[in-house]
Structure 1
Amino acid sequence: MAMGGLPSGGRGRRSRRAPMAEINVTPLVDVMLVLLIIFMVTAPLLVTGVPVNLPDSRAGALDQNQKPLQISLDNEGRIFLDDDEVSESELAERLAAAAPKEGEDPEKAPRVFLRADRGLDYGRVMRVMGELNRAGLNRVALVSTDEGKPR
């Protein structure tokens, strides 16, 4: 009976909920898994689409601040500008369009990455480099793989 007569003030404090100090990590894990799946699906799409067996080299990577123009020659000698296959005559036209116009700063010309299959004829590569030179694109980098890294 003595318990029943006590004011409810003492009992009310105990029944109030204490702040929850735990973090529910399940939504965080769900979001991270979805992001992981998205990156796993899109990462292979970011790689250049033309398969080329590059030669080895000890040269280091280049610093790059603008998107380069990529020219690839596969093992059959086909020419690709970025991911589009072009003929030699089309290549000359497209390179002329990408080259800086007369009176423009030649430093604003796009850098060209030339990727050629290691088994390809040297003359074929030189013809493409001649077209680059004729178009006024003289900032050419020859792409290779690192000699020390396994393929």
Structure 2
Amino acid sequence: MGAKLSSGSGGSKFHIEQNSEINVTPFVDIMLVLLIIFMVAAPMASVSIEVNLPTAVAPPQQNPPKPIYISIQQDGGVFIGDKPTSLADLGADMKIQVGKRDPDKERIFIRCDRKTRYADFMQVMNALQDNGYYSVALIGEDGNK
């Protein structure tokens, strides 16, 4: 908001009136300068050098197979996915679950109850290793909840 000094009738030498007009000239000047900068910079940003790129010869990667989850309950019960099994049948059930895939490339995750006996866990690990499954990971809960 600005003020306008005027001399006119009144008790004082200068009478101050309010001017409510907005001066948009600086705003327009800044917009025009930005427009010119972008008009100059835009052609520089485009790539004008022609390059003959080689074609990719790598075969596309297949999606990894679905991981297999083995669960061990507190009482020693063993499950492959949702299907119950026993330690004696674990190797045969794993071969059915894996099918024709390579057992060395299988991702096997073991989940245990907090109160599972260590001996039960080691029996499952030994049964897996006896049947050629060496890539085993353990699943735990995130403690930052």
| TM-score of the aligned structures, taking structure 1 as reference length | 0.48
Which of 1 and 2 has greater Rg?
Answer: 2
Per residue, is there more strand in 1 or in 2?
2
Higher helix share: 1
Q: TM-score, normalised by structure 2?
A: 0.50
Higher relative contact order (CA 8 A, sep 6+): 1
